[in-house]
Chain A
Amino acid sequence: MRSKLGLLLFSLPLIVAPARAQLPATVPPQLKMPQPQAPKPNPEQIPPRVWVPDVPHVPIKGGKKPAASQANGATPSEDTALPWGFTLRRFTLANGLRVVVAPDHSAPRVGVSVNYGVGSRNEELGRTGFAHFFEHMMYQGTNNVARGDHFRLVASVGGVLNGRTFTDRTRYETGVPANALPLVLWLEADRMKGLNFAKENFDNQRDVIKEELRMSVENAAYVPSYVRLLEMTYRGSAYSHTPLGSFRDLDAAKSDQIKDFFNHYYRPDNAVLSIVGDVDENAIEAQISSAFESVRAPKEALTPFADAKIPEQASARADVMIDNYAPLPMLLAAWATARKGSADYAALQVAASVLGGSNHARLPAEWVQKRAIATEVSVNLRDFGTNDPFTISIQMASGHKAEEATPLLEKELERLGKEGPTKDELVRAKRQLATSNALALEPFVDRANALSDAELQSGDANALRKGQIDLAAVSAADVARVVHTYLTEPRRSLVEARPKPAEVKP
């Protein structure tokens, strides 16, 4: 269930809590450059439509139940109840920039996503928060664009934009009327060539980021506990700190270090451009080539990111956090699981949906609605670009303690690991995931983001389609197997967030 609480925890920027950020052991030394993607044939046309496979539709009237073979979803159905037709065109420019275009003429708009293969996992010890700092600096101007003009130019055509930093990538997204595409391409190509690293910009953005840190961590309930949870889950790896870094590292950052960061990672052969929307299909390739041809190919080859493996966790980890702002106790659990794109990942997605995909899924139905021991249950599989975290958070109801939830959670996971989901649960989870996918890919900017993510992370934007085919093929036995394999007690990290007792003023 993606509750409001879930949003607070997972959709707000996630940042290392200042106190925890002082712990040096959480970041491995010297992690170098991102993993290059193999060059793709140029240009490559991918004719098949991206589609959302679905299990066959079963009318509710008459109480018909899906047949067993259908319910197990062993094979993708021919019935594409949720077709979402768009074609993909992929090609690579001479300078190494990979491009994905998905025309859609249903609205006079375009969504543009530029995704660089650098995130918080690339940060060195003592330099946490650099990737995110850099994301802010990307809007502070260039030789051709004065400070503030990037915003002004996009706003002047009625556009919207944002930048986001993840563990493995940094993404810049813009939505504009279709006729403003040349402007967006010009702006993206311009800043790919170089930035304005003036001290004034640097100091100002440091202040803005610190305010973000205060808002999202220092002043927010449960977030420090979540940050702690990820530190525990990814201990000893490049993924144990979150993108915003620490006050200490932000204060210590020097502008020349930020420049080095740019030169190291912001290069065309480490980026993906994706465009979705009302483009001129005959002219788009030439348009893109023309805009980016002045971005020179780097002289030196891209050094791959040393994808440090997540150390295998042999025994359960647990911690208690006293939370100044938590109104109610919360139990947070996490497991490092499978990488996105694998068959196990699809089965874990179904497991997450069965456990907490809606208010009526197993955990909320039992704990929130029936027994009323919790107010919210949130189950998520996050995208980290590595062995992704499967997280469960349970906010307890008044009068209940977080420790009550631990044995209940263990019991539920054991049951799912042994028996798998029921036929009805499996059908429901797969259909709900298909609906989620259809909704998530509807807005142009979101679709452009999903395509650039898939191209960057998997080397092929069609991974988006493969993920949906994998989902349709998941069986009850698959779900049982991944729960039994990954969501075990020794592999688990657990944080109990306890509300700070009220102080009695003298």
Chain B
Amino acid sequence: MSSLFCSRAARAAFLPLAPLALGAHLVACGSPPASSTAHAPPTSRASASAPAASASLAPRESPPPIGALPPFSLPRVTRESLVDGIRFALVTRPSAPLIETHFVVRDATQLVDVGTAHVLAAYLDETIGKSATQLEATGSRLSIELHGESIEITLTAPKKAFRDALLLALPLAASPKWDAAVFARVKSRASDAARARAKTHGQSSVGTAALRELGFVGRRPSAAEVNAVTLEKAKELHQKAFVQKNVSAVVVGDIELDETKAALMRPSSSFSSRPAPTRSARAATLPTETRVLVIDRPKSAQSSVLIAFGAPAMNKESGTSAELLVSCLGDSNALSNRLFSDVREKRGLAYVLGSDILALGSDSRPWFTYAATQTAKTGETVAALIETIRGLPSLRADEVDSAKRLATANLAAKMETARGLADLIVLSERFALAENHWDELSATIARATVPSLLETLRAIDTTHPLIVVNGDADSIVPMLRSFGPISILDPLDFHLVRTESKASP
């Protein structure tokens, strides 16, 4: 299968976790859509220099006008706490065939280290073993994975199996049996996987290297970080993180409140009642000067390029504006964004490219702009990405309007699936956002204008990006010297191999 755009997998390869598409923020409950005015799409026109071959004699037509977005309300989110302190959020979705349940174990990567969090999640996922086959026999699915800074236990179950599946799955994760031999096996496989990621394709390593450099801990570990994990550290992390006061649940499906409470009560008591862990907030280290990191991939036919800045946090008004800016620049869902229309469609420099703000960090978040390009055009592509970012001050009202509509439309799209709705609420839980956060955000989007976005842009330092490129160092380093001093990193563990100074202009 080939596709017009890169697959989600290809885009995701650049990003160590799901991008924080703007729509994902809008968990407004019952809020009207951001834009409610009547809207006519831009009138199209034929290209005068290149008439259509088959229809050149036909009179030209215009697209039909589109009215205001139909009003819609997100389902109501009910928030409660169980007697043991576990908080849960419920969206009752009648007729959904499956119930989606997420247990969010917050800040796992901050409590010990990222390698330990990663291996612990993999270990728990594996030790479910025989019980998982029982669970699967009910049509249920269970996974335990690291999502950003949290470990998430995700259970998808048919309604009839929901209660039993919870009883079976949760105690295994909350009170695991520790087996040194299994742990060693899981760790070895995680190490193999980290090495494989480093070599298989370049996209994965640029994101990981950038997050590592900027000090974000919600990322994939390197092979060395995996190798440093011990069973004792995994136990320590489990003891700290898997406690009732650090866990919250999200349930979406054809189930009512009383039923949910009853189903959650017994299995959730298997989490420890120890106090919530204390965590030290780690501030990101945003670049103050332009630097280039090159991850060597000898004879690579392509280079993976990533430009990183810091963006305002999610719960700030400027954070919302930044996401609208990203949408105009190159949100992976936005089709007419500047990167797509200029760098790909006009200049043909890349097939995969985009821009996203990741759901990480508390004070500032990583803003990534990325592309995969042929080796010979690496320097040109880096320059094109930077130029497009720096061209954002010429933002137009129609671009902002599209971004606002896209944000609202993405929100509506989340309503199509139980998983989509659950993902929205999980985001609230992961970042401990206020209950009215989404209503506020919705209003912020409605208020956004070109001047307000430009004000946010002025506060973001786009003049000193961190540039990370994975490719054939021998070929690309000469093209990158003009951007800043270069550090050439080992592809496996990102340790410094050598440096090159910036070329004189």
Majority SS at the chain A contact face = mixed
A442 with B10: CB separation less than 8 A: no
Of B154-162, B238-246, B272-280, B357-365, the one contacting chain A is: B154-162
CB distance from A456 to the nearest CB of B (A): 15
26 sample A-B contacts, Cβ–Cβ < 8 Å, listed by A number: A54-B158, A57-B158, A109-B413, A141-B46, A141-B47, A142-B52, A144-B46, A144-B52, A144-B55, A146-B46, A147-B345, A148-B336, A157-B66, A177-B409, A177-B412, A183-B64, A193-B55, A204-B346, A205-B348, A212-B2, A219-B201, A358-B136, A375-B192, A432-B136, A435-B140, A442-B419
CB distance from B367 to the nearest CB of A (A): 20
User: CB within 8 A of B344: which of A11, A158, A208?
Assistant: A208
B126 with A215: CB separation less than 8 A: no
A142 to B62, CA, bound (A): 12
CB distance from A459 to the nearest CB of B (A): 22
A326 with B139: CB separation less than 8 A: no
Contacts of B299 in A (CB 8 A): 324
Contacts of A13 in B (CB 8 A): 1-3, 6-7
Interface 1/0 per residue, B30-45 and A, CB below 8 Å: 0000000001011011
Given A177-B412, A208-B348, A244-B2, A59-B42 contact (CB < 8 Å): no
Contacts of B420 in A (CB 8 A): 443
Interface residue? A196 (CB, 8 A): yes
A144 with B374: CB separation less than 8 A: no
A153 with B2: CB separation less than 8 A: no
How many of B's residues come within 8 Å of A, CB to CB?
Answer: 115
Interface 1/0 per residue, A100-132 and B, CB below 8 Å: 000000111100000000000000000000001
B126 with A106: CB separation less than 8 A: no
Interface residue? B264 (CB, 8 A): no
Given A211-B372, A372-B188, A359-B345 contact (CB < 8 Å): no
Could you tell me which residues of chain A, from 140 to 175, have a CB within 8 Å of some CB in chain B? 141-149, 151-166, 175
Interface 1/0 per residue, A40-66 and B, CB below 8 Å: 000000000000101001111100001
Interface residue? B497 (CB, 8 A): no
User: CB within 8 A of B42: which of A7, A152, A327?
Assistant: A152
CB distance from B132 to the nearest CB of A (A): 5
CB distance from A99 to the nearest CB of B (A): 19
Chain B residues at the A interface, C-beta cutoff of 8 Å? 1-7, 9-10, 39, 41-42, 44-47, 49-56, 58, 60-64, 66-70, 72, 95, 97-98, 125-126, 128-129, 132-141, 156, 158-161, 164-165, 167-168, 185, 188-189, 191-193, 195-196, 198-202, 298-302, 333-337, 340-341, 344-346, 348-352, 372-374, 398, 401-402, 405-410, 412-413, 415-420
Interface residue? A218 (CB, 8 A): yes
Interface 1/0 per residue, A307-341 and B, CB below 8 Å: 00000000000000000111110000000000000
Extra pairs beyond A108-B415, A219-B301, A442-B418 (19, CB < 8 Å): A11-B1, A14-B1, A143-B56, A149-B42, A151-B340, A153-B63, A158-B405, A162-B4, A166-B1, A194-B56, A211-B351, A211-B372, A211-B373, A214-B301, A219-B202, A243-B2, A327-B195, A360-B128, A431-B138
B189 with A190: CB separation less than 8 A: no
A435 with B156: CB separation less than 8 A: yes
A219 to B159, CA, bound (A): 44
CB distance from B3 to the nearest CB of A (A): 4
CB distance from B173 to the nearest CB of A (A): 15
A428 to B53, CA, bound (A): 55
* B337 (CB) vs chain A CBs: closest residue: A155
Interface residue? A91 (CB, 8 A): no
CB distance from A253 to the nearest CB of B (A): 15
User: CB within 8 A of B3: which of A147, A157, A163, A357?
Assistant: A163
User: CB within 8 A of A84: which of B4, B63, B97, B301?
Assistant: B97
Contacts of B137 in A (CB 8 A): 58, 60, 66, 424, 427-428, 431
- Most chain B beta-carbon neighbours within 10 Å: one of A183, A219, A221, A424: A219
- Most chain A beta-carbon neighbours within 10 Å: one of B139, B160, B161, B372: B139
A163 to B349, CA, bound (A): 20
Contacts of B9 in A (CB 8 A): 4, 7-8, 11-12
User: CB within 8 A of B164: which of A11, A59, A205, A427?
Assistant: A59
A211 with B412: CB separation less than 8 A: no
Contacts of A427 in B (CB 8 A): 137
A215 to B7, CA, bound (A): 12
Interface residue? A348 (CB, 8 A): no
Interface 1/0 per residue, A189-232 and B, CB below 8 Å: 01001111111110011011111101110111110000000000
A242 to B49, CA, bound (A): 34
User: CB within 8 A of B416: which of A141, A216, A262, A443?
Assistant: A443
B302 with A219: CB separation less than 8 A: yes
B67 with A179: CB separation less than 8 A: yes
User: CB within 8 A of A155: which of B160, B164, B334?
Assistant: B334
A442 to B156, CA, bound (A): 14
A154 to B402, CA, bound (A): 9
Contacts of B372 in A (CB 8 A): 211, 215, 219
Chain A residues at the B interface, C-beta cutoff of 8 Å? 4-5, 7-8, 11-15, 52, 54, 57-61, 66, 81-85, 106-109, 132, 135-136, 139, 141-149, 151-166, 175-180, 182-183, 186-187, 190, 193-201, 204-205, 207-212, 214-216, 218-222, 242-244, 259, 262-263, 278, 324-328, 357-360, 368-369, 372, 375, 395, 397-398, 424, 427-428, 431-432, 434-435, 438-439, 442-444, 503
B412 with A215: CB separation less than 8 A: no
User: CB within 8 A of B70: which of A52, A139, A148, A178?
Assistant: A178
B348 with A211: CB separation less than 8 A: yes
CB distance from B164 to the nearest CB of A (A): 4
A12 with B412: CB separation less than 8 A: no
Contacts of A155 in B (CB 8 A): 334-337, 402, 406
A443 to B129, CA, bound (A): 31
A215 with B352: CB separation less than 8 A: yes
A211 to B409, CA, bound (A): 30
Contacts of B72 in A (CB 8 A): 107-108
A76 to B247, CA, bound (A): 40
- Most chain B beta-carbon neighbours within 10 Å: one of A52, A187, A398: A398
Contacts of A83 in B (CB 8 A): 95, 97
A325 with B136: CB separation less than 8 A: no
Contacts of B407 in A (CB 8 A): 158
User: CB within 8 A of A158: which of B10, B60, B67, B69?
Assistant: B69
User: CB within 8 A of A398: which of B188, B302, B335, B398?
Assistant: B188
A360 with B70: CB separation less than 8 A: no
A305 to B170, CA, bound (A): 54
Given A58-B137, A157-B405, A325-B199, A12-B7 contact (CB < 8 Å): yes
A493 to B335, CA, bound (A): 40
- Most chain A beta-carbon neighbours within 10 Å: one of B61, B196, B300: B196
A54 to B139, CA, bound (A): 9
CB distance from A261 to the nearest CB of B (A): 12
A427 to B138, CA, bound (A): 8
User: CB within 8 A of B200: which of A327, A369, A444?
Assistant: A327
A209 to B7, CA, bound (A): 14
A327 to B419, CA, bound (A): 33
Given A163-B3, A358-B132, A262-B201 contact (CB < 8 Å): no
A213 to B398, CA, bound (A): 34
A146 with B47: CB separation less than 8 A: yes
User: CB within 8 A of A369: which of B126, B334, B350?
Assistant: B126
- Most chain A beta-carbon neighbours within 10 Å: one of B3, B345, B350: B3
B7 with A11: CB separation less than 8 A: yes
